């Protein structure tokens, strides 16, 4: 089983890095070969088997233009008219014709962005005047591009004025801004936005043709569905490390600021810590591989690209130029070592409530080290955590899958077996005629006691398979918010003979054992808890080109006889409906949804200010509402040795006041009683 499923995974994430041509071929020739291989793979391996024709070409053309300039503030209409000649040509390129569209659209885009930079810098050089009776709006859904730079400047002015006002309102909510005048806040807001715009301009000007081509391949892949991706060779290795919950680096966590990247924390015992030279808030200036190679200036680079430069082979050297808080620049040479991602593994704790001991297990992802049999596998770790809790004689267990974006299909299937035993877990369809029922191999459940599973809008893919199986078997109670809605399976395949990287391609859809897909709809919890900031959630249904929901025939399975499960669900729902905190969060969500839907409309500044302040106030209020008052905090005791004592303490503090865990505990107590 391990070997058969070695490259099948379920993940809800995508990134892109620059392509590295390992054969040192002429770039246009290499790209032409890659595009043909890429097109063939889509036609033959993608679940939808797209037809590469003029309609497909037109769709990619529109998607790529929109990806470059969704707000229509870069291109002019004459540029679009000029590029329109390629709208039905991109399929020809995928069949072997010369690549013409990408070089031309890139040239025009970089030229126009440079011109736009002159416009936005000029606008942001002068203070905005906000008269309450004036009207502004972002007008994102404009139907046409600007006819000239004057119209373009008007669009930039509206957008930047709106962004500045929004940033001012945000600054007002910050205690650090107390005592500042409106003029001072306006200036701070404009300067912050200018830094962001300049950083993005610097970033795109650093893109080489390989990076641009990688992004283009990703645009084609994601036109087919949101979860297909192109992986350059270096990115494929990083993907493997992420799935395996391990990587080789220096043990420094980085953060992206308005105009730089700095160190936010340092892992104890790591190369960074041992050097004694790096510190929190040091700014990363340059990075070099080995001891003699030319160093790369990271100004304007994306955070993920900077991380990619720092990581590498175990035992290799990386040089970093950083700027200290006092302005000094130093160069530090570090030897990379394997970094254990303590916060990426399963971990557990026990809390006592109502005279009962409840076990709590947090699983951040369905990690699986494909390349190392003795590496990290989340199902094995889950068995260890469950066994440890059982030895402590807990009365029930909560599995927390919130913000778990998925991972290994194999591990999800094995994990269901820990709680259900032998039986079907999920159905996988390759096409209309080929449906396979995947069973777990556990003859007997490791744990058969009371169980709840906590999910939210970021629980995706493998998390949804696990939650759906528990729900279909009526093995436990699912609590939280509706999940993400990703019901597709991806497989990573080499592009060519591995020299061109790899493609993560959607090759199957998965279905619950009751026959329903989780695609688009996700898993609807038995006990629904209003989640703060729900209106900001991006689920599968909001993603461009997402596949539709459908059903197939159910599998044969036997329900688990869990006494009082339905009654516990009813009690929990009644309790939540009377909880003032959750009622307030639900009301805020409803208001925020209306507010966000109307953001693009042109409105009077006085009305906009009022709503922006209300939105910012609600955001701040909801952060507090999600925390239990100090006298109601839960008392958890960590179990196992997944993390260092310091990390354990931070984790225990973070979960002790979580209202969603508190409600999950009350729900499992209903089930126990």
- Is 178 among the residues known to form the active site? no
Rounded Cα gap, residues 189 and 186, in angstroms:
5
CA distance 221 to 215: 10
Cβ-contact 318, 286 below 8 angstroms: no
Outline where 532-644 has alpha helix (H): 565-577, 580-597, 605-625
486 as an active site residue: the answer is yes
CB of 532 closer than 8 Å to CB of 585: yes
Beta strands in 186-268 (DSSP E): 229-231, 246-249, 252-256, 261-266
538 CB contacts (<8 Å, ≥6 apart)? none
Give the Cα separation of 75 and 108 in Å (integer).
Answer: 8
Strands 502-511 and 229-231: antiparallel
Catalytic residue among 32, 414, 486, 509: 486
Cα–Cα distance, 506 to 489 (Å, whole number): 6
**Structure-derived torsion over alpha carbons of residues 613, 616, 622, 628, reported in degrees to the nearest 10:** -100
DSSP 3-state assignment of 641?
A: coil
Q: Which helix (H) or strand (E) holds 452?
A: strand 451-455
Q: What SS3 state is found at 591?
A: helix
CA distance 261 to 174: 22
Taking the C-alpha atoms of residue 503 and residue 271, their distance in angstroms, rounded to an integer, is 33
**Cβ pair 457, 531 in contact under 8 A:** yes
Task: Tell me how far apart the alpha carbons of residues 180 and 163 are, in angstroms, rounded to a whole number.
Answer: 19
Alpha carbons 327 and 548: distance in angstroms, whole number: 54
633 assigned to active site:
no
Please tell me which residue in 192, 224, 461, 517 is annotated as part of the active site: 461
Q: Which one of 79, 91, 282, 472 is the catalytic residue?
A: 472
- Residue 360: closest CA among 604, 605, 558, 656: 656
Q: Rounded to an integer, what distance in angstroms lies between the CA atom of residue 647 and that of residue 182? A: 41
Contact 345, 245 (CB under 8 A): yes
User: What is the set of active-site residues?
Assistant: 461, 472, 486
């Amino acid at each position: 089983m391990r070997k058969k499923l070695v490259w099948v995974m379920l993940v809800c994430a995508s990134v892109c890095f620059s392509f590295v041509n390992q054969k040192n071929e002429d770039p246009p020739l290499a790209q032409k070969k890659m595009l043909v291989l890429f097109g063939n793979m889509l036609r033959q391996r993608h679940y939808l088997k797209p037809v590469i024709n003029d309609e497909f070409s037109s769709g990619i053309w529109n998607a790529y233009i929109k990806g470059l300039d969704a707000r229509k503030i870069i291109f002019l209409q004459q540029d679009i008219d000029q590029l329109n000649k390629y709208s039905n040509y991109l399929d020809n390129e995928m069949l072997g014709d010369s690549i013409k569209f990408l070089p031309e659209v890139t040239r025009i885009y970089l030229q126009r962005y440079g011109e736009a930079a002159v416009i936005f810098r000029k606008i942001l050089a002068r203070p905005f005047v906000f008269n309450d009776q004036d009207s502004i709006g972002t007008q994102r859904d404009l139907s046409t591009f600007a006819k000239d730079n004057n119209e373009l400047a008007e669009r930039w002015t509206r957008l930047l004025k709106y962004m500045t006002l929004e940033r001012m309102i945000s600054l007002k909510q910050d205690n650090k801004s107390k005592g500042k005048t409106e003029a001072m806040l306006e200036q701070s807001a404009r300067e912050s936005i200018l830094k962001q715009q300049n950083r993005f301009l610097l970033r795109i000007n650093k893109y080489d043709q390989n990076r641009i081509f990688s992004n283009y391949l990703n645009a084609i892949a994601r036109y087919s569905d949101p979860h297909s991706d192109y992986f350059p060779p270096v990115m494929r290795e990083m993907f493997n490390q992420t799935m395996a919950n391990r990587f080789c680096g220096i043990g420094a966590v980085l953060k992206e600021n308005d105009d730089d990247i700095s160190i936010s924390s340092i892992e104890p015992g790591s190369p960074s810590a041992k050097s004694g030279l790096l510190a929190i808030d040091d700014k990363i200036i340059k990075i070099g591989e080995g001891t003699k190679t030319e160093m790369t200036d990271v100004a304007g680079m994306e955070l993920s690209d900077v991380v990619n430069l720092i990581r590498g082979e175990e035992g290799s050297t990386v040089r970093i130029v950083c700027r200290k808080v006092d302005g000094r620049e130093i160069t530090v040479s570090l030897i990379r070592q394997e970094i254990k991602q303590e916060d990426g593994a399963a971990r557990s704790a026990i809390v006592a409530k109502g005279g009962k001991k409840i076990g709590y297990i947090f699983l951040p992802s369905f990690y699986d080290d494909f390349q190392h049999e003795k590496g990290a596998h989340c199902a094995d770790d889950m068995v260890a955590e469950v066994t440890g809790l059982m030895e402590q004689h807990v009365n029930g267990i909560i599995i927390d899958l919130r913000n778990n974006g998925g991972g290994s299909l194999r591990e999800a299937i094995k994990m269901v077996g820990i709680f259900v035993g032998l039986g079907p877990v999920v159905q996988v369809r390759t096409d209309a005629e080929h449906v396979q029922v995947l069973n777990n191999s556990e003859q007997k459940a490791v744990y058969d006691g009371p169980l709840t599973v906590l999910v939210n809008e970021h629980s995706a893919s493998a998390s949804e398979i696990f939650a759906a199986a528990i729900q279909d078997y009526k093995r436990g109670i699912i609590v939280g918010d509706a999940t993400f809605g990703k019901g597709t399976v991806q497989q990573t395949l080499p592009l060519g003979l591995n020299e061109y990287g790899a493609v993560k391609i959607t090759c199957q859809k998965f279905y619950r054992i009751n026959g329903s897909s989780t695609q688009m709809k996700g898993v609807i919890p038995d006990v629904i808890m209003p989640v703060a900031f729900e209106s900001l959630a991006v689920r599968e249904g909001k993603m461009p080109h997402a596949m539709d929901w459908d059903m197939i025939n159910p599998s044969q399975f036997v329900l688990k006889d869990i006494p009082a499960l339905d009654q516990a669900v009813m009690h929990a729902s009644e309790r939540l409906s009377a909880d003032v905190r959750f009622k307030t969060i639900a009301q805020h969500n409803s208001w925020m949804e209306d507010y966000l839907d109307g953001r693009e409309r042109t409105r009077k500044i006085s009305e906009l200010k009022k709503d922006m302040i209300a939105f910012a106030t609600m955001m701040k209020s909801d952060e507090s509402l999600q925390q239990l008052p100090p006298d109601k905090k839960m008392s958890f005791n960590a179990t196992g040795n997944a993390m260092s004592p310091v990390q354990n303490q931070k984790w225990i503090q973070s979960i002790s006041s979580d209202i969603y865990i508190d409600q999950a505990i009350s729900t499992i107590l209903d089930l126990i009683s």
